[in-house]
Structure formats: C-alpha cells, structure tokens
Structure 1
Amino acid sequence: MAFRATSYLVFVLLSLGSYVFAQNSNVLGARYIVTGRVLHYPEKTPFAGVTIVARGPERLVTTSKADGTFRFELLRGKYTMVARMLGYFTEETPIIVPEDNELEFLLRENALLLEEVQVSETKAEQNVSKVEIGVAKLTIKSIKKIPAVLGEVDVMRSLQLLPGVSSVGEGATGINVRGGSIDQNLILIDDAPVYNSSHLMGLFSVFNPDALKDVTFYRGGIPAQYGGRTSSVIEVKVKEPDAEKWKVQGGVGLVASRLMVDGPLVKNKMALLVATRASFSDYLFRFAKTASLKGTKANFYDITSKLAIKSSTKNQVYITFYQGKDVFKIAGDSLARTEVNATSSVFDWQTRNLTARWNHAFSEKLFANLTTVYSRYAPTITNPDSANAFELKSGVTYKNLKLDVGYVAGKHKIDVGLSGIRYDIQPGDLQPTLASSNINPLTLQKEQGLEAAAYWNHEIEVSKQLSVMYGLRYSWFAALGPYRVNAYELNVPRDPTTTTGGVDYASGKVIKTYGGLEPRLVARLNLSPTTSLKFSFNRMYQYLQLISNTTAALPTDRWKLSDAFLKPQIGDQLSLGIFKNWQKDTYETSLELYYKRLTNVADYRNGTNLTLLEAPETAILQGTGRSYGAEVLVRKNTGFLTGWVSYTFAQTEYLINSPYAEDKYRNGVYYPANFNKPHTVNVVLNYRISRRTSWSFNWVYSTGRPITYPIDKYFVDNVYVPNYTLRNQAKIPDYHRLDIGFNVDALPTTKRKWQSGWAFSVYNLYARQNAYSIFFRTKNDNVLQFYNKVNAYKLSIFGTLIPSITYNFTY
C-alpha cells in the first residue's frame, strides 16, 4: 500500500514538473507564425522563388510560393526581414515578433547593365521540376516584350508564338492548338467563358493587357478541374486591385487607347479596379485609295473591372465584370452566306461576363472556392437598305455554379469539385426592319442544355525522382426541350426532302443524354537535377460546338449543343516529353511528342449554308480525326539577349466514313483538316541595351494551309459553275513575317509618381504579301465562252508593313 502511495506521489510530482517545465518552455521558447507576400512592382502581381531571410535571435531562410506567399515560425524578438532576387533591388524591413506578423514586399527591377540580370518570370528550373507537360505560363510583363501589331500587345498573338499553336492567317479569330479547331479551346477570364476572343475581326484580342495578372495555357496534361473542350485551356486572370493606394495607368496609340484606375475603397479591406480600352479607327479608312473602302467602319471598346473584398484573412470575395463590343461595317458586300443581298451591312458582336467568387480558408491546409458565372455572347448583323432591311440576331447564354475544395499537406495536393452549367442558345432570328423590305422573317428553334461534372485531382511527390498528378472527371449532358426533333427516311442520307415528321418535346423534357469518365494522368521522372522525362494522358468531352464550314469564324457562325443527331466530341491525347536545362538554367530545351484521337469530329457537306439552316443535321457529318506532331523549344532566360526559338511539326487529318457515297470524301481515306499546317517556326528575341531601352524581334514561318481548288467548270444557263471535288488536296503559299519593336521604359530606379514610356513597332517589316486565301475569276474577253481563261488571285490581309507608336504612362 505504501509502495502504491509512493508511486502515485512520484507520478504526480513528475507530471507536475513536466507541466511546469512545459509552461516555462512555452514562455521562453514559444514560436510565432509570421506570414507575408512578395509582389512585383508596379504590377503588384505575385512573385515566386524570391529568397526571404529572417535575421534576429535566429536566422531562417525560405522562398516565396507560386502565389507570392511565405511563412516563418519565429522566436520572440526583433528581426530584420530581407527579400532578395537576382536582378531586383533587395528590400529590408524591421519587425518585432509577435507584434508584427504580416508582411508585404514590393520588388523593383534593377535593370543595370549586368550580364547576369534575371529576365525570366519564374524559377528557371521549374520547366524540369514541375509536374507539367504542354503547359506555358505568360506574365503580362513578358508579353509586353513582344512586338505589337498596331501598337497593342496581345495575349492571343503571344500564344501563337508558342510551339503547337497556329492560326489560319492574319485577320482570323481564334487559334488552333495541336490539331484542334478554334472552338475546341476553352478560353476563360476569371472563370467566365469567352466565345469570341477577337476584336476587329482578329486584329486584337478581347483582353486588356493592363488589367491582367497572367495567362496559363494548357495544351497537354490538363488537370481534372477543367473540361468542356477537347484541345486546350487558356486561363486568363485579372489582377487584384491595389488595396493601399490609387493608381492610374494607360496608353495612347494610333488605333487603340487604354486607361486603368485601381485603388482602395476601404484601405486594406475593399479595392476596385476599372480598365477600359477603345478604338475608333474609322478615320483610317478615309485615307484609302479605293472608294469602296472609305465607308468602312471598324471600332470596339471593352471594360474590365474587379472588386476585391477582404473581410478577414480567411474570407475574400472577388467580383469580376467584363463587357466588350465590336462594330464592323462593310461599305459594299453580298451576304451570300445568309442568303441575303445587301449593300451596307453592319456586324455587331458583344460579350458580357460576370463572375462572383468567395474564397474561404478553413485552415492553412484546407480551403474552398464557391463561384458563380454568367456569360452572354450576342452577335448581330443589320442592314438599312430599304429593299432588304433586316436584323439577324443570335446568341449564347451560359450560367455556371461550381464549388472547388483544395487540400495541401506535405507532399500531397488534392483538389475536388462540382459544377453545374445551363446553356441557352438562339441560333438565329432574322427579322425585316422596314415595311418595304423583301426579307421574310425566320426564327430558328432555340436550344437548351444542362452540363454537370464532378472531379478529383491528386498531385503527389512519390520520391525525389518521381512525381505524379492523376485525376478523374465525370461529365454528363442533357439536351432539353422545348424542341422539335425531325424524323427521316431510313437508309438514305438526311435531307430536307426525306423528312417523315418529327417529335415535339415539351419545355424541360430531356431529349438526349450523353456522358462519360475523363481520366487524367501526368508523371514526371527526374533523370538528373537538370533533366526530366514527362508523360501525360487526358480524355475530354465537348458538348458545345461551333458549326462553320468556313476557314475563319465570323460573327454569323452559330454555336450548337449536342442533340439527338449531333454527338459530343471526345478527345484522347497522349504526350511524352524530355526537358533539359544547361549552364545553370541559362538555357531551357524541350522536346514534346503527342498523338491525339478525335471521336465525332464534325465536317460538312459541300455547298451547304449553315447560318439559317433550320435542320443542321442535314448538313453536318461526323467522323474521326487524328493529330500527331513534335514540338521543339530552345529558350534563353538570362543575359542581355533573351528569348526562344521553337519548331513544330504537326499533322491533322479527318476521316468521314459514311455509308453513303455522296458523303464519303476521298473514298473513306483520311484527308487534311482545313487548318492543317505541317511546319511552323517561331523566333522571339529581346535585347536589352540600357536600363530603359530594349529591342524585340520575332520572325514566324509556316507552311500554307490546305485549300480546295476547282478541277473544272460548267457553263449552265449563262453562268459558270466551278466543280470542287478534291477536298483540301492543294495548299496556299507558305507564310513568313518579321516584326520589330523598340521600347523605352520608365527608369526602374525612379520614384516619381508620373512614369511614362514609349513603344515603337513595325509589323511585317519586309512587307510580304502573305496569302490568306486563293480565289478564282473567269476572264470574259472571248466571244467563245469555252476559251475564256480562269485566273487565280491571292487575297492578302496585311500586304504591307504596319508601323505603330504608343505612349504608355503610370501615375
């Protein structure tokens, strides 16, 4: 009994001693969390890879993450916090722990004439170490170093200088990525989709560069949180407004001018950014030598705004609004594609997006985002002619509600989420606008659909050599009524003359459903500290398609949902790449190979007009496609001269294997897609010659795209009718172009409130008349019609050099 009592007493004393020791230890050796963020000056965008040093009672070192944040656990006392990065001025600030626990560093570029000045925006070795393949991230700072067309730096044109990206030509909207059509790219601005990414028929993009933070471009290894398109994802982020002081930024150019204002509504709690851009270039056409061009109009405007509300460190609310509008008037034209003849047509298209996002941090490891999105794209064509006055409207409305949850712990990063999308599409509504008009009204059936998805994505560092990102997405789509589904005769091609009736579906009634699993996998194996091997596979479903049988999309082209006849496109892509850095990451090199198979790819019957077609299933043909290629990139990151050289080999082919001979092109053999360009070379260079001045150059080359030439002609009722049979078996001449730019920036060391600079550029320096298309005309100079020759003509969009100058300022 005494032994038990003694043991109990010893236990109590030991426990009490441990408790007292622990308490004293907590007082004397307690650690406190200090967090902070590093930003670029003056953009105030997150700065990754910056070395942060804490000097005081102890010395600790860390680096800033991708979002610019860093974290320390420090003992009580006085510290000097130091942020340093090669090529930037070192920043220091004293703090007292635990009173000061939140920091912010603004790093200003030190553009001295030093050979080792760092120009790259992220840590150079990330191309080797990160679990990514086919991914590029561009900051606005790097985009502004590329020569501009008409004085305006441009996101979409910058992407065209990357390997695996092309376009059908100058003045064309959209881009083609690894053998995909332009509608196979999911373009997002703060989670809101963009259906037409161009201003002025492709001369500018809809994104105001002053308002943007960065652009992430996925053309392979796409994470499971993205879906709905089969080729690529372009994620454009609007930067956060300054929560401490007001700032004015803008530029004045010959064609377009910009202005942005951002600052705090409530300091450090609520901030607002508003950026606007406008072009009123109609006056330029007045100097045209051709009389028919003097009445042409081409102008646009866009507004980008973002409201940031930070109620606490755990809760933030962001509201982003975008609106853009284009007006393009052709002085004299024939809208044969709409079966309407007119002498003066006005193309008007506008986009309106609204995104609201709530970010909540449950802890340092667990966080969630709740996002709601509204998007409306509405093109219109009008004509005031008394004989043929009309208005043709169409549009796409998109509503989305999604929840994303992220968890980060050690070597694991897990993302899960749900989303629901509602589509409402007006394919076309043609109405006469004058009583004297000969136009008959026509309203196509509206389309409705629901798309739902759930995903799970997991990134894990298995070992120092191996990292894996894998995930799974399930998507489901339902086409909804009200809608009339036509019925057709069996064993014959669908045609308006073979209709046998139809079924009417009531509002909300499900017409047809589709869905499936979309697996994703990316793996990175480090062969050495400077070399890695990467592999990826992804499958993606696409339920919304742009149906157009022209090479370049126009505002008149219509968007269509999958239905009882049109199946969703499915893209399966395999990628393999090797990445190697040289001379302490001064040079990056990479080789990526890919193979993509497309199921249910769409093509069209010859001579069909899709714009006001009441039964598009009679014109659309679906088959399989394949795309394969190789992409080589060599990039120099540091020194006076920086830039990259890329080469792309790519082939894209379609197979329409219809059971009916009239719908089987080339007898069931693969033929080139109309945007197929086998060889592309891009050279992008930037040479800094002083603290303020730099030259930039880019040279592009690509083989000509396929085109269909007539093999002969018929003379019927005094009209020549060309005979087109061999689809895409010829090609237009090769394309190449040289651009140069000269930039005079504000002195990096100046602390004046008003800072300004100049941007000079020349687009198409040697004035090459690159062919956009080839067309044919019969020369009627012989009484015997049989002997009249058919001549081929080349259409060039920019047939000469285009100089530009822009004055940029910041206050």
Structure 2
Amino acid sequence: MFIPKRFYFLCFTFFLVLNLFSQDNQTVVPFKKIIIEIEQQHQVSFNYTENNIVGLQLVPPKKSLSLEQKLVYLERKTNLHFENIENQYINIYKKENKSQIVCGYVFAADNMPIENANIHLADTTLIATDSKGYFEFNKRDKNIFSVSHIGFITQKIESDNLDTKNCLKILLEPEITQLDEIKANAILASGISKNKDGSFEIKPKKFGILPGLIEPDALQTMQQIPGVNSIDESVSSINVRGGTHDQNLFLWNGIRMFQTGHFFGLISVFNPNLAHTISIYKNGSSAFYGESVSSVVAISSTPETTEKNTFSAGINMINADVYAKYNLSKKSYIEISARKSITDYVETPTYKEYFDKIFQNTTISDFSLNQNIDYQSKKEFDFYDATLKYVQKIGLRDQIVMDLITIKDNLEVFQSATSNDLAKSENNILRQKNYGGNLSWKRNWNSSNITKINIYNSSYELFANQKMTSGNLNVIQGNTVDNNGINLENDHVISSKFSFNEGYQFNEIGVTNLEEVSNPDFYRKIKDVLRTHALILEGKYNDTISRLYFKVGTRINYIQEFKKYSVEPRIQFGYGINKTLNLELLGEMKSQNSQQIIYLQKDYFGIEKRRWIVSDNNTVPIQRSKQISLNLFYKQNDWLLDIENFYKKVTGITTSSQGFQNQLEFIRTTGDYEVLGTEILIQKKIKQFLTWLSYTYNDNKYDFSNYEYPIFPNNFELIHTLSWAGMYEKNNFKIALGTKFTSGKPKTTPASFDINPYNPVVTYNNPNNSNLNSFFQVNFSSTYKWETTNGILFKLGISILNILNKKNEINKYYRISSLTNSIEEVETYSLERTPNMSFRVSF
C-alpha cells in the first residue's frame, strides 16, 4: 500500500510535539516560582523563611489540581510541611523543625492584619510582623512574650505549653487616648456631639433627654440645633437656615428618602430605636453628598462595634414597635425593626390632638363646616414602617451589607350629609409610601486602603382618590418617584495625618405626575427622567498636635440630558487657637435637580399638597447654593459657647415651590433667596444638671427679578428664635423642661376688605408685608428605667407638649368665602396641650 511521504512527516511532527510537551511538563523550576503561581491562581498567601526553601527546585504540580491536592504533592516531593489556614494563609515549615516553632497572626478588632507589630521575647529579642500580621520564633523553655503596636493596647502572652501545631491568633484592642481637643462630649443633651467637620452627631442609644421628647426621634431632635426650625411643627417641613424641606437631603443607609414623616409630618418615619448614628450637616458637607442645596441628614443603622443579641418592644399613645438583632454567626447578623400605629384600635388623646391639627383648613374640614344637618363622618387612619438589615463578613477583608426599608401611610375619610332632602357624600382616600433598598460591599485591601461600592433604589408614591356624589365627580391624583444609582468610593490613608478619597456616582431619578378627572373627562400623565454622573475628589489633613484640621474636596457633576457640567467645591477648616478655643471655617457649593412644588393648595385634599418634579433647565431650573460660615467654639470648666455667622444664597427657586397663599400663588416665575444669620449656643453643666440657651437671627429675603416687587421677606423667615432647656439626669431618672420662642413668620394682608361683587378677588398689599404673632411654647418630658435581676430592662416615659396650652398661630391667609361672598381670614394653629406616654422592655 502506498503511503505518502507527507503522512510520515505529519506523524513525525505530531510525536515530536508530544515529546516536547512532555519534556516541558517535566522541567524542574524554582520552588519559589511554584508557590507564587499557586498564590495567583488560588488567591492565597504563603508564609515561610527563605532558609527553608533556598535552592529548592522540583517539577510543578498540574494546574488542574485543587489547592489541597497541590499541597499534598509539594509535601510529598519535599521535606516541608504545609499548614493551610482557612484557605487564605499557608505556613511552610521543615518537617523536623515544625515542633520547634511558635507562630502567630496579629489582627485588629476588625480582623485586619497589623503590619510591623512588635513581638518582644523574654530574652529581649524583637520580631516584627509582616504585611499579613504573621510572625514566628523558635520555641523556648519559657514562652513569654508581649505584642505591641502604636494605637493598640499591649498584650502579654505567657504559657509554658504553647500549641506549636497551630498558629496563634492574637487580637489587639485599640488604645483610646484622651486628647486635648475641643469637642463637646455632650452638646444640647447626652448622646449629641459636634465633630471637627462642623457636623452634629446623634447616638440614639446614648441619648439622654430633651424637652417634649421621650424617644430619640432623629428629625425632632435636630430641631433643637440652632438654625434648624419647622415653620409648622412638622418633620415634613424642616427649614435649615431658611431653606425649604425638599432642599434637605435625607439618607437612610445610603438610600435617599422622599417621605420623612408619618401622620403627615408629626412623627418621623425613622424608627428611633433602630438608628446607631445620625450625622447632620448645615454647611461644609462632604463632596460625596449631592442633590441638596441645604442640609444633609445621614442616618446609619450599622453599629460601629459588634453587639450582642438584643430584643426590645415598646408602645406609646400613637404606635407600637419591635426591634431585634440576632447574630447568625461570628461573621454575620440580621437586624429587624417594625412599627405600626395603634389608631386602628384606640383613639388616644394624643391621636385626637394630632388629627385636629393635621385636618385644619383642608377640604375634609371644609366639608364638615358647610354641612349643618345630619352630618356623619367615618375616619380610618394607620401607618407602619419596617426595616431589615443583613450583614455578612467574608474572610478578613470583605463585608457585604443589605438594607431594606418600607414606609406607608393610609387615610380614608367617608363623609355624608343630608340637607333639604338632598344627600351629599365624599369618599377620600390618600396613600403615601416609600420603599428603599441598598446593597453595599466593603473591601479592606490593607490597613491604608478601603474600597466601598453600593447600589441603591428608592421608590416613592403619593396617591389620592376623591369621589363625590354631587356631579358624579371622581378625581385621581398621583406623584411617583423612582430613584436608583451606584456609588463607588476609595479611601486611602497616606499617613497618620493625611488621607485621600476619590469616587464616582451615578444617579437616575424619574418623576411621574398623574391627574385624572371625570365629568368633564380629563387625563394627564407626565414622566421626566434625569441621569447624573459625578466624579468626587477629597483630601483631609488632621494634626491633633498642632490642632489643625483641613478637608477640601470637589464634586464634578455631569447631567446627561442637558449635557451640562458643574463643579462644586467644599471646604472644612478648623484650628485650635489654644486648648479651649477653636476657630472653624466652612464653605460649600451645591446643586439640586429635583424639588417639591405646589400646583394648588387643595391638592391631595389640602393635607399633603406638595409633589416632586425634576428640573427641565428652563421654567424649572437647577437649584444652586453657595454658603460660607465662620464659627468660634469655646469650652472650659463645663462651660460651652458656640457662635456661628453664616451667609447663604440659593438660586433657581420657583414661586410654586415656596407655598405662597397670596398674589404669587398662581404666578410662575423663578428667583433666589439670600440669608444672613447668626447662631449662638451657651451651655453649662453642673454635675447631673445641664442647661443651655440658644439664639438664632435670620435675615432672609427673596429676589424674584421678573416680579413687580422683586425683593421681600422669605416665607420661611423667622427673624428671632430663642430656646432654653434644663435637664437633670441621675442614675436611671431623667427630666427636662424647655421653652421655645420665635417671631412670627411673614404673611400678606389684604389692601382692602371691600371686594367687587361681580369679580370677587382679594387685592393684596406687597408680599409678606406683615408677620404673624410670636410663637411661644413650654414642653416637658421625663423617663425612668429599671433592670430586673435576670437582665430585663424596662423604661417608662412621659411628655407634655405645650404645657400652657397656648394658642399659637402658624399660618394665616385670606380667601373669598363662597357662602358670604366676602374676604375670609383663615388661621392655622399649632398643637394644643398634647400628652404622650411610652413603655419599653429590652433584653
């Protein structure tokens, strides 16, 4: 048979290649190169001494083998022993020397390895740990040594029978050194402090007591801070240095919250028994915070230290709640909280006072006032909120955290009346809810480099349905917000004094507004979406010796739809003039692409009138702010004096976002406002007694250049605010009494009370030409806790708002009465005397 020469050539080449491949597989290589390849392939680290592997060469194991199979192969081929620790660290010893070696790893409390920790042996020998925190030394008759490092408590280890088969794991506790820096351990109350960056920090679990509060409600507590007010006693209308509520950024574990109040603003949606840290920035916020032109309120429910399993349950005259934390393992835990109103079952005096305040001068109260015969009403109101947190540590460097939150308010009011044999009824349904989720990952690459990534989503809905028998009318209104994004942050510690951060953020917000009316038929649904990219750079210098603190950063925004860039610098500067006096300079430029506006004052029955919209870069411009403040802080002999002067300007506001109820209510124009102010706090502590007095001055003016009277007082201007509180805490008993005085907010009066019967309209004076009467309130609260022998803790609290039952005006406007065809004065008042009581059990 004829076989072509080409076939022989191919066969020869094939076997030659196989032979070459086989020879290559059997080639010996340096041992060090083998373990480097294994480290890269299996993400492990080898620990060894050079003397044990010097000159060693062998054929490498097959790459397809598992890590354990490779170690078995290497141990069989060498005189070495391989100790695998959690598939992360592998120690290499000579077999005959293994029993003569003591080895170990040194970690911080967060399981991060400590490099260059000093191992002091009894014979004065000094050994340092490597980058993995590893050390080893020859076993001695008496194995006594100490482990030390700067910033940690030295640990002494003494044992004659140390286990040499397994490496030690040594945890060093951080050493807390009291430095002579100017920081108030308690400002306003226990659990509230002021940081170097100018922010206020609240620790609810360490919270003492404040007048009128029996629980550490984040949004009620922040109103005690000078410069923070609520023009209508609502946590849904918090005004920081003259700004509107929507100009504040509220974050819960990185999730932006669009609903902040239950009961339409009288109760915070953030469970006070859950939060671990609340940070409040009035100025000089980090460049990592965007989408606000006023304050930042960042709430974190992740504890700073490991906590034991806990459970608590409580009830007050509005709601009941439960909280539980359970450690699933040494590296994971789950945390759950839930809170629900009790108004479904009982109408307490507190609930009645809240209800009367909320429904003043709304379409619901208007219906009852106009029906004098056979009037009937059925009201159903409830709310709830719930949170879930899951934390999982992976190895020594990684941590994953998942946060979920859900908030919901429901109101249904059915009213009917019969007059002159004519039946009339209304059924009003109002629903408000906010859902959010966040998934974050943190990686500690080493002691000086940390990466954080989080993905979040927040969904908000406000829905109303009004059905009226008269005219067979059905009205539906809706406002929804979908907000999602991703944040990336890298933290670098360059030295003990200097650190540097950089990051990237992507944010997408979509807002939908719906209006549907029957008879006549009308339907409108509009959705707008904005996508923003941001690059963040930030550096911090902190020298406790020279008492110098300096932090500077910038945020570069790019709005995709407008193809528009903006640069927002931030600065924090603090200098300790001496041990008792500190000077602080804060400044920032910020922007905001979304805002709340009011289409009509009777939207959503006049209860929740505001709806979210996004900027169109035209009639609804991007809001921008710039602010600078200078602060002088003095603390000595339990005296504290804090004086801060500031200037703030916000541009791009619209008249529809300011809640006008005068001639500007139906005028659509844009403008800005400027605030010049001073905030003063004086505090003194005498043993268990703490008292403080605060004063705030604000000169807050609008400038609507396209309006005939462009400059006039801001709707949220409170020229003078004066607060005092006295608190006594001893052992488990706490009591607080406080007062608050504010000058009245601006109002616009009619130029004449005579109207044209053929064209009944109100003719006004210049906008905000007058002011309401001053506001004065006295509040009281007290708590007492006790613990049983088996470790169960009980807490009882009592509070009274407006003890003197003073009738305070919080709003006044004018309208044409449909009954008398004349000008009618409409007044809204604050809460009357309102008691509350709480009881809580924890174990």
Q: TM-score range, shorter-chain basis?
A: 0.7 to 0.9
| Structure 1 residue 373: Cα displacement | 0.6
Contact 2:192 2:207 (8 Å CA) reproduced: no
Change (3 A) 1:360 1:620: farther
Which residue of 727, 741, 753 corresponds with 1:701?
741
Give the CA deviation at 1:681.
1.7
**Residues 189 and 208, structure 2, Cα contact 8 Å, conserved in 1:** no
- Classify 1:259/1:727 alpha carbon distance in 2 versus 1 (closer, same or farther; 3 Å): same
- TM-superposed deviation, 1:80: 12
Q: Residue 296 of structure 1 contacts residue 328 of structure 1 at CA under 8 Å; is this kept in 2? A: yes
Q: Distance in 2 between matches of 1:657 and 1:349?
A: 36
Aligned to 1:200: 263
- Do 1:455 and 1:473's aligned partners in 2 also have CA atoms closer than 8 Å? yes
**2:237 aligns to what SS in structure 1?**
coil
**What does the per-residue CA deviation read over 1:392-419, in whole Å, with 9 as the maximum and x for residues that have no partner?**
2221100111101111221012111100
Unmatched 5+ stretches in structure 2? 1-50, 55-99, 112-118, 124-132, 138-142, 160-166, 177-183, 357-364, 369-374, 418-423
The aligned residue for residue 827 of structure 2 is 794
Distance (Å, rounded) in 1 between the aligned partners of 2:120 and 2:559: 57
Alignment of 1:68-467 (within 5 A): 77=144, 99-102=168-171, 131-133=196-198, 135-141=199-205, 143=207, 145-148=209-212, 153-171=216-234, 173-240=236-303, 246-265=309-328, 267-281=329-343, 283-284=346-347, 295-330=378-413, 343-386=426-469, 387-408=472-493, 409-426=495-512, 428-431=513-516, 437-438=518-519, 440-461=521-542, 464-467=546-549
User: Could you tell me whether the CA contact under 8 Å between 2:191 and 2:207 is conserved in 1?
Assistant: no
Cα gap change, 1:515 to 1:715, in 2 (>3 Å)? same
Are residue 577 (structure 1) and residue 617 (structure 2) matched?
A: no
> In 2, Cα distance between the equivalents of 1:742 and 1:608?
39
Alignment: residue pair count:
671
Residues 700, 34 of structure 1: CA spacing in aligned structure 2 closer, same or farther, 3 A cutoff? same
Cα deviation, residue 177, structure 1: 0.7
Q: Which moved more, 1:633-642 or 1:173-182?
A: 633-642
Whole-Å separation in 2 of the counterparts to 1:753 and 1:57: 44
Q: Hey, what's the Cα distance between the residues in 1 that align with 2:601 and 2:256? A: 22
Q: Does 1:557 align with 2:610?
A: yes
Contact map agreement 1:155 1:207 (CA 8 A) in 2: yes
Letter aligned with residue 675 of structure 2? S
Q: Please report how far the alpha carbon of residue 647 of structure 1 lies from its aligned counterpart in structure 2 after TM superposition.
A: 1.1
Identity of aligned residues (%): 19
Distance 2:839 2:156 in 1: 39
Q: What CA distance in whole angstroms lies between the structure 2 residues aligned with 1:238 and 1:172?
A: 20
Letter matched to residue 764 of structure 1: N
Which of 645, 670, 679 is equivalent to 1:622? 670
The Cα of 1:313 is off from its aligned counterpart by: 2.4
Counterparts of 1:348 and 1:170 in 2: how far apart (Å)? 22
Residue 703 of structure 1: CA displacement?
A: 1.0
Per the alignment, in what secondary structure is the counterpart of residue 559 of structure 2? strand
Select the structure with the greater relative contact order (CA < 8 A; seq sep ≥ 6): 1
Preserved contact between residue 124 and residue 637 of structure 1 (Cα < 8 Å): no
Residues 307 and 319 in structure 1, CA contact (< 8 A), matched pair in contact too: yes
Which residue identity is paired with 1:770?
A: N
Once the two structures are TM-superposed, the CA of residue 72 in structure 1 deviates from its matched residue by 14
Structure 2 match to 1:113: none
Residue 171 of structure 1 and its aligned partner are, at CA, apart by 4.1
* Change over 3 Å in CA distance of 1:555–1:96 after alignment to 2: farther
Shift of 1:277: 0.5
Quote the Cα distance in structure 2 between the aligned partners of 1:268 and 1:120: 35
Deviations 1:635-677 (A, max 9, x none): 345720125321111121111111xxxxx142x3x21111110
Report if the CA contact (8 A) 2:541-2:551 is conserved.
yes
Residue 798 (structure 2) pairs with residue 736 (structure 1) = no
Tell me the alpha carbon deviations over residues 427-459 of structure 1, each in whole angstroms, 9 at most, x when there is no partner: x22346xxxx53624223210110111111111
Paired with 1:203 and 1:381, the residues of 2 have a C-alpha distance of 20
2:273 is paired with a residue whose SS is helix
Q: Which has the larger radius of gyration?
A: 2
**Match for residue 752 of structure 1 among 778, 785, 790:** 790
C-alpha change, 1:28 and 1:80, in structure 2 (3 Å) is: closer
- TM-fit CA distance, 1:302: 0.2
TM-score by length of 2: 0.72
Deviations 1:759-783 (A, max 9, x none): 111111111111122245789999x
CA distance in 2, matches of 1:792, 1:56: 86
User: What one-letter code is carried by the residue in structure 1 that aligns with 2:588?
Assistant: N
Of 554-563 and 568-577, deviating more is 554-563
8 Å CA contact 1:699–1:737 kept in 2: the answer is yes
1:597 aligns with 2:649: yes
**Partner Cα separation in structure 1 for residue 274 and residue 478 of structure 2:** 30
Alignment partners' CA distance in 2, 1:74 and 1:650: 65
What does residue 80 of structure 2 align with? none
1:595-744 equivalence runs, <5 A = 595-604=647-656, 620-636=668-684, 639-658=687-706, 664-666=707-709, 668=710, 670-688=711-729, 690-713=730-753, 715-717=755-757, 720-744=760-784
Q: Spell out, residue by residue over 1:268-322, the C-alpha distance to the aligned partner (whole angstroms, 9 max, x if none).
A: 1221111000113254289799987963333210001111011122100111100
8 A Cα contact 2:388 2:405, kept in partner = yes
Contact 1:652 1:672 in 2 (8 A): yes
The CA distance in 2 between the partners of 1:775 and 1:259, in whole Å, is: 42
Deviation at 1:365, TM superposition (A): 0.8
Aligned-pair distance for 1:354?
0.2
**Partner amino acid, structure 2, of 1:529:** K
Q: Is 1:765 equivalent to 2:803 in the alignment?
A: yes
Structure 1 residue 522 and structure 2 residue 577: aligned? no
Asked if structure 1 preserves the Cα contact closer than 8 Å seen for 2:235 and 2:267, the reply is no
Residue 259 of structure 2 aligns to a residue whose secondary structure is coil
Displacement of 1:683 in angstroms is 2.1
Cα offset for 1:718? 6.0
SS at match of 2:800: strand
Distance (whole Å) between structure 1 residues aligned to residue 537 and residue 682 of structure 2: 34
2 CA distance for matches of 1:765 and 1:123?
Answer: 24
- CA shift, 1:548, in A, is 2.7
Three-state SS of the structure 2 residue aligned to 1:158 is helix
8 Å contact 2:553–2:570 — kept in the other structure? yes
Residues in 2 aligned to 1:308 and 1:235: alpha-carbon distance in whole angstroms: 19
Distance in structure 2 (CA, Å) of the matches to 1:160 and 1:574:
21
Quote how far apart the aligned CAs of 1:706 are: 0.8
Q: 1:287 to 1:516 in 2, by over 3 A?
A: closer
Determine which of 36, 57, 60 is the counterpart of 2:109: 36
Q: CA 1:469–1:254 in structure 2 vs 1: closer, same or farther (change >3 Å)?
A: same
Contact preservation (8 Å) 1:570, 1:600: yes
Partner-residue secondary structure (3-state), 2:221: helix
Query: Matched residue of 1:157: which SS?
Result: helix
Q: Hey, what's the Cα distance between the residues in 2 that align with 1:794 and 1:56?
A: 80
Deviation of 1:93 after TM superposition, in Å, equals 10
